[in-house]
Amino acid sequence: MPRHLADLVLPSAVLWDMDGTLLDTEPHWMRAETELVEAHGGVWTYEDGLSLVGNPMLVSAVRLQEHGVVLAPDEIVDFLNTRVGAAVAAEIPWQPGAEQVLADLRAAGVPMALVTSSYRSLAEPFAAAAGVFDVVVSGDEVARPKPDPEPYLTAARLLGVDIGDCVAVEDSGAGIASAVASGARAVAIEVMQPIAARPGLSRVASLADLTLPALARIVRGEVLDLRRAS
């Protein structure tokens, strides 16, 4: 670590959401949802897609059934994961700044977890390709997915760290609720939807804002608002 960063007190771990936060996969999810609904004679709008951002997979499957998809929930989930998995396999759609902050944290020796509502069949290949995550907690491996705090509490337990000494980074309402409820220092990145201010929640416009000094400030209790002026 460079000398000017050596005295920073960094988080015990950083816990990352995947879709929307690290990866620009939400357009892939929306395309897969649209394809599926239209194949069953229904209509799926951009607003419909936005309403599913951050939801547990089976919750999303029920919404798609309500729009005319005549498949079992598990079949819907398999279809969506297959479509999005193929897109990610073709080229990892990193969000701006993601690769740099992951590399900086790895170089500083900070443990990291991937905490996602997506299923392990999608999360594990990405985690393996990224090569920086110590733990993966996927949506099909918890009893109570986001917005419940269980996924983030599980990640901290598996890493052997206190959740209060962790920073959790999210982009969706359900994910932010999960991170805040867990007791982690929560950071929201504005991607598909504006993020309202709430006590204890830092907000950034890009992962490029999450430098090691910024993460050190957040974990010691500062609430940052690093969004760009409109």
What would the pLDDT profile of 23-50 be if each residue is shown by its tens digit?
Answer: 998 888 889 999 999 999 999 999 999 8
Fold of 3-24+94-226: Rossmann fold (3.40.50)
Residue 228 has pLDDT above 80, yes or no: no
> Among this protein's residues, is 17 annotated catalytic?
yes
**Residue 190 burial (C-beta neighbours within 10 Å; 0-12, 13-18, 19+):** middle
The pLDDT confidence band at residue 66, using thresholds 50, 70 and 90, is very high
Residues 6+ apart with CB under 8 A from 194: none
Rounded distance between C-alpha atoms, residue 194 and residue 196, angstroms: 6
pTM for the whole structure:
0.85
Q: Please, are residues 3 and 213 in contact by the beta-carbon 8 Å criterion?
A: no
pLDDT tens-digit readout, 49-64: 988 887 888 889 999 9
pLDDT tens-digit readout, 96-130: 999 999 999 999 999 999 999 988 988 988 999 89
| Set 17, 19, 171, 209: catalytic member | 17
Domain ranges of the chain: 3-24+94-226, 26-90
Give the full edge-to-edge strand order of the sheet including 166-170.
135-137, 112-115, 13-16, 166-170, 185-189, 201-204, 225-226
- Domains 3-24+94-226 and 26-90 are alike in CATH topology: no
Residue 144 has pLDDT above 90, yes or no: yes
CATH assignment of 26-90, among 1.20.1550, 1.10.150, 1.25.40, 3.40.50: 1.10.150
The pLDDT confidence band at residue 83, using thresholds 50, 70 and 90, is confident
